[in-house]
């Protein structure tokens, strides 16, 4: 029968403790501490669903805001702690302080833009030109995934966004103080207002109408505001 020996016991018996001394000096992996979410709970993001007819535009807005948060005007990586929330907040403030007072955009209510039309025939004179019928687009069996935009914004900015959306009735709250998102509380979906405002602000930024100013003196936020180039 084969001699089943304990190799580790033989290694101990050899009195060769040099390797063991080296092992003692290696730090042992510690469990990763749980992330402190207290700050996130105290500063929740303003989350809004975007109507499906603005899905692609919303994805473009999200990508552009992320890009501006990560890169300077010249395309180099930012060396500060500027966040996506910082950029979004300042874009909203720029819109409300400079764009809205001077050139307010028109926000069409959903019922006026998407209203159902009834077809009526109109008698015409026959022509030699034959009309062409194109195959109707096939409906997709699976609806596209709902796009959601979420940014941490000051309360006054949120109030201005919802004011533009045209509230149909006051907000309702649960017992714990959280707001109930009623689907028909606004004339225009707030998600649509967010997309349109950010599109305007991004366009102005790309045209050089304003820039973001950052500095080491900022503690609670990195983006301090806008200034003319």
Under-50 pLDDT residues of the chain: 7-8, 11, 20, 23, 115-116, 217-224, 226-229
143-173 exposure pattern, b = at least 16 Cβ within 10 A, e = fewer: eeeebebebebeeebbebbbebbeeeeeeee
Total number of domains constituting the chain: 1
Residue 13 lies in a domain: no
Q: What angle do CA 120, 124, 127 make, to 5 degrees?
A: 135
Q: Which pLDDT does position 181 carry in this prediction?
A: 78
Residue 113 lies in a domain: no
Residue partners of 61: CB distance under 8 A and separation at least 6: 149, 194, 195, 198, 199, 202
Q: If DSSP codes are grouped into helix, strand and coil, which group holds residue 148?
A: strand
Q: What domain range is 228 assigned to?
A: 43-107+145-229
Residue 32 lies in a domain: no
Q: Which pLDDT does position 222 carry in this prediction?
A: 39
- The conformation of residue 180, written as its DSSP 8-state character, comes to E
Residue 128 lies in a domain: no
Tens-place pLDDT, residues 42-75:
668 999 999 998 999 999 999 999 999 999 888 8
**Alpha carbon distance 212, 229 (integer Å):** 10
Residue 82 lies in a domain: yes
Q: Which pLDDT does position 102 carry in this prediction?
A: 87
Residue 188 lies in a domain: yes
Residue 90 lies in a domain: yes
Helix axes 84-94, 190-206, angle to 10 degrees: 90
Tens-place pLDDT, residues 201-227:
999 999 888 888 876 544 343 344 544
């Amino acid at each position: 029968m084969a001699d089943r020996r304990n190799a580790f016991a033989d290694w101990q018996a050899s009195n060769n403790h040099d390797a063991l001394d080296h092992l003692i000096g290696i730090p042992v992996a510690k469990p990763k501490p749980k992330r402190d979410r207290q700050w996130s709970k105290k500063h929740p993001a303003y989350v809004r669903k975007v109507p499906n007819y603005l899905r692609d535009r919303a994805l473009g807005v999200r990508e552009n805001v992320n890009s501006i948060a990560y890169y300077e005007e010249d395309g180099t990586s930012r060396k500060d702690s500027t966040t996506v929330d910082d950029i979004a907040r300042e874009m909203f403030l720029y819109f409300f302080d400079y764009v809205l007072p001077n050139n307010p955009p028109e926000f069409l209510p959903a019922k006026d833009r998407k209203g159902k039309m009834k077809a009526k025939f109109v008698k015409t004179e026959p022509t030699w030109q034959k009309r062409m019928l194109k195959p109707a687009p096939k409906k997709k069996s699976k609806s596209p995934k709902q796009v959601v935009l979420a940014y941490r914004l000051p309360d006054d900015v949120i109030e201005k966004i919802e004011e533009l959306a045209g509230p149909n009735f006051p907000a309702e709250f649960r017992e714990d103080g959280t707001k109930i998102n009623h689907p028909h509380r606004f004339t225009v979906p707030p998600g649509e207002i967010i997309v349109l405002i950010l599109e305007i602000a991004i366009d102005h930024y790309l045209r050089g109408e304003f820039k973001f100013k950052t500095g080491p003196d900022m503690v609670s936020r990195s983006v301090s505001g806008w200034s003319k180039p």
